[in-house]
Structure 1
Amino acid sequence: MSLEKAKQYLGSKGFLNHIIEPDVTTGTVAEAAAALGVEPGRIAKTLSFLQGDKAVLILVEGDAKVDNHKYKETFHTKAKMIPYDEVEHWVGHAPGGVCPFGINAGVEVWLDESLRKFETVYPAAGNDHSAVKLTLPELEQACEAKGWVDVCKTPQV
């Protein structure tokens, strides 16, 4: 059902032909990178947080981790991930397919600066056997992001 919601949403934005449906799972960053033949950083993982009674999604580079200090400075609240078994209720997609497309009303979407090092990224498309190939401008347009934030730390190379 979530893949269908994402497809309908992406179709309405003109990005239906950007969806990729591999025969293998894309439920983790490593699995998605292997399935798509790209480096893990290009997987735009969608992290889900609760801010009071509001769900917030932040798309980050696949290798990035949330920096709790930066998150609190940006959102003026402690980073609180949505519990695994509640993600689908809050967001509209289950873990492994969480994406900013076809989500529940009222969920805010933000993009993390860690994505800016790539021209093209691959967020999920509603389930653990899907992805969407988008340039950063396309991603901004497709997910109707509220803006860009800097809330992650990336591995040192």
Structure 2
Amino acid sequence: MTTPSHPAVDRVAETLAGHGLSPEIVWFDDAVTTAPLAAAALGVEVGQIANSLVFTLDGAPILVLTSGAHRVDTEWLGTQLGGVIGRASKEAVKEATGQVIGGVAPVGHPAPVRTLVDVDLAGYDDVWAAAGHAKTVFPTTFDELVRITGGTPHAVVPAAGANA
């Protein structure tokens, strides 16, 4: 049986290799476009899924790699970053990453995208990220995500009990 191939997944694998990594890219029979679907398919906690979400910060794309256990608090995060975070259109996501919503990987983009890496992901030994297609994921770690993306570790929701 041949391994499936897709240009976006190939770019992700090439980028990972450029960082000295060669994780197995897992292909599923069906799309795993949500953290709960990916976690169930892998048999891991939903918090171990690193969702790659593209937003805009004052109009510029920003990639937020967030734990699948929660939703990004865009109003709070925008305040933390000194701007306004909005939802990126599917066209803006494709332009910024070269990938489509549901399969956006943390790497393999046509140009660097400012990236925040959810500090909650540091609580897991292994995390899983999309590999450029809705049917693909790869294993990594919080530290590797920060390194390979050039990302900034940052909370994406207020701490429990904290005032927004």
Deviation at 1:140, TM superposition (A): 1.9
2:121 equivalent in structure 1: 115
User: Which of the numbers 140, 143, 157 marks the counterpart of 1:152?
Assistant: 157
**Structure 1 residue runs of 4+, over 4 Å off?**
none
Structure 2: runs of 5 or more not aligned = 1-6
User: Which of the numbers 3, 8, 28 marks the counterpart of 2:34?
Assistant: 28
The Cα offsets for residues 15-50 of structure 1, whole Å up to 9 and x where unpaired, read as 223422233322211221122111111110011111
1:54 equivalent in structure 2: 60
User: Which of the numbers 74, 84, 89 marks the counterpart of 2:90?
Assistant: 84
The amino acid across from 2:149 in the alignment is: C
TM-score between both structures, scaled by the size of structure 1: 0.87
Q: Across the two proteins, how many residue pairs are aligned to each other?
A: 155
Preserved CA contact (<8 Å) 2:54 2:61: yes
Preserved CA contact (<8 Å) 1:74 1:151: no
Higher relative contact order (CA 8 A, sep 6+): 1
The answer as to 2:142 corresponding to 1:136 is: yes
Task: Quote the RMSD (CA, aligned, Å).
Answer: 2.1
1:10 equivalent in structure 2: 16
Larger radius of gyration: 2
